[in-house]
Amino acid sequence: MNWDWNAVGDFMPDLWHGLLVTLQALALGSLLSFSLGLLWTLLMRAPSRWVRWPVGVVTEFVRNTPLLVQLFFLFYVLPEWGVTFSALSTGVFAIGLHYSTYTMQVYRAGIEAVPVGQWEAATALNLPRRRTWTAVILPQAIRRVIPALGNYVISMLKDTPLLMVITVLEMLGRARLFSQEHFQFTEPLTVIGVAFILISYLASLLLRALERRLVR
């Protein structure tokens, strides 16, 4: 086996296009998963069981079915019912929805880790419920769960190649097309492997910096 640097050079334009799609899916999917996860957590703490029960059923169903099955369902089945989105939008929604059921548990643990005295102090100060959550509880809870949320960002990054099955040309999709067209598999697959490692490492550094800033 001979390494062909010319093949690497030829693949680089495809890599940049795929990298842009991967980062876009990762950023939007992470934002959606963090937002939905917090929403699920707050709804699960609602006093009415008629709110908690449906949320619990939906999140358990999503968490216990494979992301790949969800991608196929959203992209190939929903259009038969008249619900159609672009491939990238479908992929972002699937990743965000799937991982929101995991970030929900992270938020729950963070909220439960807030000392009881903080709740009692907010009650003693007669703070409104919304003010208690936004100014007292959530800032402390989110500070505690940044490392765990960062791990899920890395997991979402590693799951972005699944979007290839619904025709999203992220990095692996681009590498696959290039390999089939030029019959060179080693170079493009090695390049995207290195790219995933670098992106994961940079993401971990950014999350550590964010964690240190929040602690201060």
Tell me, what DSSP letter sits at residue 164?
G
Average pLDDT, the chain: 90
CATH code of the domain in which 142 resides: 1.10.3720.10
Tell me, what DSSP letter sits at residue 65?
S
Main-chain dihedrals φ then ψ at residue 3, nearest 5 degrees: -80, 130
Select the highest-mean-pLDDT range: 10-24, 122-136, 176-190.
Answer: 10-24
User: For residue 1, what pLDDT band results from cuts at 50, 70 and 90?
Assistant: low
How much is the pLDDT for 124?
81
User: Residue 52: exposed, middle, or buried by beta-carbon count in 10 A (0-12, 13-18, 19+)?
Assistant: middle
Per-residue pLDDT tens digits for 86-111: 999 999 999 999 999 999 999 999 99
How much is the pLDDT for 182?
83
- Identify the CA nearest to 70 among candidates 96, 102, 32: 96
For the chain, what is the domain count?
Answer: 1
Q: Which residue would you say has higher pLDDT here, 130 or 35?
A: 35
Q: Can you give the residue range of the structural domain that contains 178?
A: 5-215
How much is the pLDDT for 215?
66
- C-beta of residue 170 within 8 angstroms of C-beta of residue 164: yes
